[in-house]
Structure formats: C-alpha cells, structure tokens
Amino acid sequence: MNSRSLFAERLINSWKYQFGIFRSIADWTILVYLIVPGTVIFGMIYRSWWLETPEWIAGLPLVLLFFLLYILSWLGNFRTFVLEADKVFLVKNKSLFLGMRKWGIVYSLFLQTISTAAMIVLILPFLKNSYFLEWSQITTLLLFFISLKWAIMTVSYYLKRIGGKLKRYVIGFVLFVLFSWFSQLVYSVWVIGADFPVNMTSAVLLSGTLMRASQLLKKISDLDFEVLLEQEEKTKYIKWIFMMAPDLEKPAVSMRTKPLLFRNSRRIFKKRTPITGLIELFLKIFMRNPSYIFSYFQIISVSAAGIILIPPLWIKIIVSGVFLFLTYTWLSITWDKAIMSHPFTKKYSDKDFYFTARNRTVLALFFLAILLLGLILSALTNILARFSILGA
C-alpha cells in the first residue's frame, strides 16, 4: 500500500460516511418531493437570471457581493485524514503517513478551489449582465478569492491550535478584521480595472500559502490536534442536524465548573410560587444552554434575512407567518424538553400551575422574538436604504 491508495481508501470511507448521514435525513420521499423539485426550480431560476436581470439586484452595490465572497472564504479547513491509530502507525511508516497527509491537504485545497469557483459561477449572471464586468476582471476575482481562501485555511489551521478559547476568539476576530481591510484595499484596486496588481497579490498569497503548507507537510504536527480536527470535520453535518432538528438536539457540553449566568443561583422573582418557580427554572436552563440561545436567535436572524432579501410582498408575508409558527412551536418543544426531562419536574405536568407557567413563558419569549425581529428589520432597512439598496 502506498500513500495515494491509503488516502483514496480513507477518502472513500469518508464519502460513504457522509452519504450515510444524508440518507439518515433524506429518504426517498424527501428526495422526490423536496430535493429533486428544489434542484429543478433552482435551475430554472438560475436560467432566468441570464435571460433577465432580477429587480432586487439592480440597486445592490458590487462591494456587498465582494464582501459576501470574503465571508465565504472563511469556510473550509484542511483535512489530513489522520486517525487515532496513526499514533502507532506513524512510528513504523513515517513516509507513508506523511504522504497520506500530503494528499489530504492537496485534496482540501482542490475542494475549496472548486467551492470558490462554484460561488463565482452562481453570481456570474449578475457580474456580466448587471455590473457589466469583463471576463478578465471576473478571472482576476476568481484567482484572488482562491488565493485568499488558501491563505485563510492555512491561518485557521494554526489558529485552531491555540489552547485558550478566549485567546483564540480574540485573535480570530483580529485576523478577520485585518483580512477584511486587506480585501477592501484589493477591491478598491480591482473595481477600477487594475487587474495586474490584484493578480500579483494573488500570486504572493498563493506562494506564501504553498510555502507554509510544504513546511507543514515536512514535520510531524500534534497528532492529537489533527485527530480532533479530522473528527470535527467528519461530524460537522451531524452537528448541523442536531442544531436544526429540535427532537434530535444534543445539549452542548460545557467545561465550566460554574455556569456563566446565574452562577450563584440567585432568585429572579421575589415572589415564590409554583408558577414563578417553574418559569425561573426554565429561564436559567434556557440562558445557560448555548444551543437554545443560538437556535432562538438563528430563527430570528434567518427570518429577518428572508423578509428583507426576498422581494415579492406575498413571499414576505409567508416568511413572516412561518416565523410566527416556527418560533412558537420551537419554544413549546424546548419547554417540554427542558422541564419534562427531569422526573422531579415531570410529576407536575398535569397541574394547572404547570400549564400556566408554560403558557406565560412561551408567550413572553414569543413576543420578545417578534420585538427583536422588528428591531432587526428596522436596523437593516435603514442600513440598506443608506446604500440605496432598496428601491423605495
């Protein structure tokens, strides 16, 4: 067995694993009624973009599409396909192991290149028919974001090796801002048609990335880190399923010895009744669980984006209705999951005060979500109006 065949075997096994995850949530009914029709509809919409430029893109500044591509450049990681057993395997087959890692990194760079090219192809009708860019400018744009994504992948690899979570987040935020400023500078040069400086910048980024990648391939990195990194990459779709499906949601595991909020377990309500006791218990569980908070704001933010970005009024109304139904349903399910999961509180499920507490809490968080949605919509509308994105 050589390094190429070892890599191919692990890649195929990874594909089979991901396909099994897909099959676990997409049976033949979902495939027939959702995925296939959705693909056909998207193809028709994409074709219509070439035939006629949609109205919503007319006032959209090109810099926003550029910034969207920059955001997407932060998606994607190196995959080395390192397994736990390689700690022993490495001692006897160092050259084979390093060769397998080399093919894994090459595969990662190629995969992210394809994903970047796919994003350019997706917005290509707008680049040609709305912003009237030349093919040379589009090619320069593609090369820059490929080189930028490669550079960010390399930086992210070393960033994830930082031990402290707070330190890693702070450094990551600083790097995000610095790369953003750098991209804005490149945009100011590219938008006026100066392709040569941008191409030279892309060449420098590619050269630097390849040099760092070659150095990475020649040395044995922290195997425990790479095993963990590969495991996270392998199971990321499962985490998305847990995140999007309330019935499958897996509580986040925290390493804190004390919770961040209500660590001294102080009372929220001065008046102690069975109703306020259940409400206080749920609020503390809700606010201490990152997955609950994230899902709550995810529903609000996605709904706000849909209402703002989708032009037809009737679709905005549908999205609003879906938001109301989904938010109330999700809050009800979350209450039942948090309170009914413990035998001590479950025994009160047939009491009147239990339903009173449940209704009050769900309605309060429901109306709070509506208020937050309104504030986000108002803020986004003002921001977009300043950039003359909205036609009104």
DSSP secondary structure code for residue 252 in this structure = P
Query: Taking the alpha carbons of 316, 318, 324, 330 in that order, is the dihedral positive or negative?
Result: negative
Q: Rounded distance, CA 34 to CA 294, Å?
A: 26
DSSP type of residue 33: I
In three-state secondary structure terms, 204 is helix
Q: What is the pLDDT of residue 255?
A: 47
C-alpha of 18 from chain center: 17
10 CB-near residues (< 8 Å, 6+ apart): 81, 83, 100, 104
So where are the chain's domains? 3-234, 253-386
- pTM, full prediction: 0.64
DSSP assignments along 49-88, one per residue = HHHS--GGGTT--HHHHHHHHHHHTT---------TTHHH
Alpha carbon distance 104, 78 (integer Å): 8
Question: What residue spans of the chain are helical by DSSP H?
Answer: 3-25, 28-30, 36-51, 62-72, 86-92, 94-122, 124-129, 135-159, 165-190, 195-218, 223-234, 236-244, 274-288, 290-309, 313-339, 343-346, 352-386
Tens digit of pLDDT at every position of the chain (392 positions) = 678 888 888 888 888 887 777 776 665 555 655 677 777 878 888 888 888 877 777 777 888 889 889 998 998 888 888 887 777 766 577 788 788 888 888 898 999 999 999 999 999 998 988 888 999 999 999 999 999 999 999 998 888 888 777 888 888 889 999 999 999 999 999 998 889 999 999 999 999 888 888 887 777 766 777 777 877 777 666 555 555 554 444 444 444 445 555 555 556 666 778 778 788 888 888 887 777 888 888 888 888 877 876 666 777 788 888 889 888 988 888 888 877 766 666 666 667 777 888 888 899 999 999 999 999 888 877 776 665 444 44
Residue 214: per-residue pLDDT:
83
Question: Exposed, middle or buried, 118 (CB in 10 Å: 0-12/13-18/19+)?
Answer: exposed
The CA dihedral of 135, 119, 186, 151, to the nearest 10 degrees, is -120
